[in-house]
Chains A and B, each alone.
Chain A
């Protein structure tokens, strides 16, 4: 962070404000300074608040995050900005006041004053397309930050902000969290109010916290979900590992790091057993159809005339091609989701948590986001979707936790899934993993960007 500011975590910053050691104004100014610098080479920031800070403070409550500046994905109506969705233009629909998620943050005392950039319209897992250009990974600028909440992940990973809000309709919190080495929680579908969120129409999407560690993720998560997420009583834990479907076509370094995470949890008392997930062969197609067609009713003639032509050709082509998907396919996907949800519910009768790599590789290159799997080269989007989509199609909560680095120093994440509504259990397990690995993979202090030393100033 900025020179002279040594308090980095969300809980630490909140405590420093509460103890009178630092003012909300000083925190905000430090955040603005670093966000501006970071944005110059990562495109992670859509906008920083430039108004009357005292007014924002007056609107904020006296909750546990009083006076702390946080980031929020640029998909929400804020008191100071209309959402842009990673495009050059704000949404045209009339604003009905701050979004529900923003109100929850304000009630907790937080100041959501940095709008984080995202993959254009949220339609990609890489973040390499946005109105501002590719969102670069602050840990390796030639790599993607991930998507679609790439800006939220990047500002947290770089130490510009202690935490940020993301959204996840097809891995969009967990994938960038894994690529950037931070913790990202996708809550249960429906757990956070969606008014004022541009993706609020979706049966796949949910709003969630992104932070450097599980404790900070819990703090922001409690604000968003509006309920305590305290660790449940320790109990014997059964972790299911779906090796056939989700551990078999994974990069070697990712596989090794995730196996070591399982070993650490096993050494900490968890029982790890192999499970077979039913009917998961079509997760990628189902996710593409569900997310792609749910958007179509949002499109109207005015948007098509004024906004669509200003988008990246890839986004335009994708949006238009979604009209090709048949009603039969859409309805079959709805039934398939029911099938997968039932299968998952049965699995959760025998285990408490499901574990798999968050993504099968580390962050792909910005210039050409393809990845190399044991089975051959693949699209970064499609390969990531196979892992991420299970939680979105079924609605269960899932969390990505850093668990290693590859030979180039790129972060690796493991994804833990739990039953509907069991976010607290996931956060507790994430903390157990952090403890049992001695927080070796938790970023601390300013990011030390390996190929861009300016980031660490």
Chain B
């Protein structure tokens, strides 16, 4: 989604864009996420296997 617009998958479920109030929220969300994302992208994760025995120990109801 580019500034002030929604595209692609968002449009496929009927989302057509952001009104001014929504845009303010989206801008704030982007401002929060941008530095967090930049730092996170530097974490080496290519060799991390997704399987995790610890997680799978959780009992299922």
Contacts and interface: CB of A to CB of B under 8 A. Distances in A.
Contacts of A321: 1, 25-26, 29-30
A41 interface: no
A337 B48 CA distance: 10
* Interface class of chain A by DSSP: helix
A52 B32 CA distance: 49
A145 interface: no
A149 to B, nearest CB: 19
A320 B15 contact: yes
Given A190-B61, A395-B58, A335 B48 contact: yes
A193 B61 CA distance: 5
Given A285-B36, A323-B10, A394 B55 contact: yes
Given A337-B55, A421-B59, 8 more contacts: A190-B61, A192-B61, A301-B13, A313-B21, A314-B25, A329-B40, A336-B40, A345-B53
A310 interface: no
Contacts of B43: 279, 282, 332, 336
A282 B13 contact: no
Contacts of B45: 332, 335-336, 339
Contacts of B21: 313-314, 316-317
Contacts of B18: 317, 320
A316 B13 CA distance: 14
A324 B30 contact: yes
B9 A323 contact: yes
A323 B10 CA distance: 6
19 contacts: A188-B59, A190-B59, A193-B61, A226-B61, A281-B39, A285-B33, A316-B22, A320-B1, A320-B6, A320-B18, A324-B26, A332-B40, A335-B48, A336-B48, A338-B49, A341-B55, A342-B54, A345-B54, A395-B55
Given A226-B61, A334-B50, A420-B54, A282 B36 contact: yes
A117 to B, nearest CB: 21
Contacts of B40: 282, 285-286, 329, 332, 336
Contacts, number: 128
A305 B14 contact: yes
A214 interface: no
B50 A191 contact: no
Interface of A: 100, 188-194, 225-226, 279, 281-282, 284-286, 288, 296, 299-301, 304-305, 308, 313-314, 316-318, 320-321, 323-324, 329, 332, 334-339, 341-342, 344-345, 379, 382, 394-395, 420-421
A317 B25 contact: yes
Contact of B26 (A317, A344, A420): A317
Contacts of B33: 285, 288
Interface string B31-43: 0110011011101
B32 A421 contact: no
B39 A282 contact: yes
B10 A341 contact: no
Nearest to A195: B61
Interface string B1-22: 1000010111001110011011
B26 to A, nearest CB: 4
A188 B54 contact: no
Contact of A301 (B14, B25, B58): B14
Nearest to A188: B58
B58 A323 contact: no
Contact of B54 (A299, A341, A382): A341
Contacts of A192: 61
Contact of A191 (B24, B53, B59): B59
